Amino acid sequence: MGSLKRRQTAKNTLSLIEIYSGELRQNSEWLSPMSTSQSKYTAEFYLERAEEMRSLADQMSNPDARQKMIGVAESYERLAKCAADKTALMARIKLPEPQAE
């Protein structure tokens, strides 16, 4: 692969990592007290995203980019654990419905 092609591939890979990392920071809805049935951010959602990131990492030839994408996948797996814990907690307790403002 030529030098220009490698630089472009690395640039595209870093762009993907920035997009997915930013998405992780923005998707904090799972922290809200609303019912998990109302949220799309379930453990399954995060595990699917983790699988996507691992699949992308498997396709990367740059070891640094691959490791960063694996790190993004691990972050999604941690979010999945948090979402599963929240679901279990919500099943055990009944929180008051949020008040309309």
Model pLDDT for residues 11-40, shown as the tens digit of each residue? 666 666 666 655 555 555 544 544 445 678
Number of other CB atoms surrounding residue 76 within 10 Å: 24
pTM for the whole thing?
Answer: 0.60
Q: How many CB atoms lie within 10 A of CB 70?
A: 17
Task: Examine residue 69 and state whether it is found in any structural domain, yes or no.
Answer: yes
Residue 46 maps to a domain: yes
Per the domain annotation, does 11 fall within a domain? no
The residue that leads in pLDDT, 39 or 5, is 39
pLDDT of residue 99: 65
Residues of the domain holding 82: 36-92
Model confidence pLDDT, tens digit, residues 39-74: 788 999 999 999 999 999 999 999 999 999 999 999
The 10 Å CB-count burial string (b at 16+, else e) for 5-28 is: eeeeeeeebeebbeebeeeeeebe
Structural domain includes residue 73 = yes
**The pLDDT value given to residue 61:** 92
Do the domain assignments include residue 43?
A: yes
Q: Number of structural domains, the chain?
A: 1
